[in-house]
Amino acid sequence: MTNPTFDVNAFMDAGKKAWAPVVKLNELSAAAFERIARQQYAFVGEMLEFSLQQMQVASTARDFNDLTARQIELSTQFAERATQRSQDLIKASTEHQAELTKWFDQTVSESAKGAKKAA
């Protein structure tokens, strides 16, 4: 009776191959999270700047008409930046969705090839 030796390297390689899609998914998700976190951090900075500008306008306005005009100007600029930020988030989400779709298709394709080999 013979006992085949257990090949640890083959076992480790199989484990790495099995976890490779999960690692790739984790990398994609982490990159997307970081990108969106950076965008949100920049937007919070713009909100803070807008708040400070509003306080400055309120303290330096000559009269009510001046205050209103300057607040409208600041609000319009802020709305434009906020709109751009939301469009950037939509773009980032769309790009991440495309990356995930590509990852999924590739993973399914590789799994199907492996299943056909085994059969």
State residue 3's pLDDT score.
64
Give the relative orientation of helices 8-60 and 64-118 as an angle to the nearest 10 degrees: 170
State residue 90's pLDDT score.
96
**Which two three-digit tokens encode residue 90?**
């939509």
pLDDT at 118 over 90: no
Handedness of CA 45, 49, 50, 54 (dihedral sign): positive
Secondary structure (DSSP) of 32-84: HHHHHHHHHHHHHHHHHHHHHHHHHHHHH-SSHHHHHHHHHHHHHHHHHHHHH
Model confidence pTM above 0.85: no
Could you give the angle at the alpha carbon of 107 between the alpha carbons of 106 and 111, nearest 5°? 120
| CA-closest candidate to residue 29, choices 97, 109, 90, 89 | 97
Specify the length of the chain in residues: 119
pLDDT digits (tens, 9 = 90+) for 57-115: 999 999 999 999 999 999 999 999 999 999 999 999 999 999 999 999 999 988 888 77
pLDDT digits (tens, 9 = 90+) for 21-71: 999 999 999 999 999 999 999 999 999 999 999 999 999 999 999 999 999
State residue 7's pLDDT score.
76
pLDDT at 4 over 70: no
H/E run at residue 9 = helix 8-60
pLDDT at 6 over 90: no
Domain boundaries, the chain: 27-93
